[in-house]
């Protein structure tokens, strides 16, 4: 398996993987899968703001993708990112999600981000376990936050420091990502 930067040529695979998650899973609270045009808009917005967007592939096949984006857009949040990971159905349970998450953590530390948060829809046990293994701690739960597939779903919040985390002041002369520079 190889982890690499996502490219526009990956958008059909990204769209297909996300559609399966929307239709059959609880990681996303969307109910209707967006088309490739909308996924391209989202991809461009994330990449244009300086956030990592990664692909896991093996034998020229996309197994999954992951990215980070702003948790909130207020400037004081600029050191905090939220991760998102989506896997093809046959890639689940094979360590692909954990590999993508570890690669995202490394990229975000190199960019100067200080905290990463996971907002885990459906309180999905495999996602919670992967985040725990990567050093995240549970920091909150919203009970009955979404209704999908005929059931009320909880959302779990998890957090992990990046680099020195909150132990030192950030370099306020530079900003990780470009979202807050405007």
Sign of CA dihedral 126, 155, 176, 53: positive
- Residues 100/56, Cβ–Cβ less than 8 Å: yes
Give the DSSP per-residue string, 41-73: HHHHHHHHTT--EEEEEETTEEEEEEEEEES--
The CATH number of domain 2-161 is 3.40.50.2000: no
Burial class (CB in 10 A: 0-12, 13-18, 19+), 143: exposed
- Any idea where the domains of the chain sit in the sequence? 2-161
Cut 0.85: pTM above it: yes
> Going residue by residue through the chain (182 aa), what tens digit of pLDDT does each one get?
999 999 999 999 999 999 999 999 999 999 999 999 999 999 999 999 999 999 999 999 999 999 999 998 888 888 999 999 999 999 999 999 999 999 999 999 999 999 999 999 999 999 999 999 999 999 999 999 999 999 999 999 999 999 999 999 887 766 666 655 44
- Strand 115-121 and strand 80-87: the pairing is parallel
What pLDDT, on the 0 to 100 scale, is given for residue 180? 54
């Amino acid at each position: 398996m190889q982890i690499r930067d996502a490219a526009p040529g990956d958008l059909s695979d990204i769209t297909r993987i996300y559609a399966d998650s929307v239709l059959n899973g609880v990681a996303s609270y969307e109910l209707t899968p967006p088309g490739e045009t909308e996924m391209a808009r989202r991809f461009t917005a994330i990449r244009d703001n300086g956030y990592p967007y990664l692909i896991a592939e093996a034998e020229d096949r996309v197994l999954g993708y992951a990215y980070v984006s702003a948790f909130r857009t207020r400037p004081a949040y600029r050191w905090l990112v939220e991760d998102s990971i989506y896997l093809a159905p046959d890639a689940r349970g094979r360590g692909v999600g954990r590999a993508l998450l570890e690669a995202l953590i490394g990229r975000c530390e190199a960019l100067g981000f200080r905290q990463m948060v996971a907002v885990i829809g459906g309180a999905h046990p495999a996602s919670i376990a992967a985040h725990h293994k990567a050093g995240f701690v549970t920091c909150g739960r919203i009970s009955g936050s979404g209704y999908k597939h005929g059931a009320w779903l909880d959302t779990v919040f998890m957090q992990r420091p990046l680099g020195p985390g909150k132990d030192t002041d950030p370099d306020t002369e530079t900003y990780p990502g470009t979202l807050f520079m405007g």
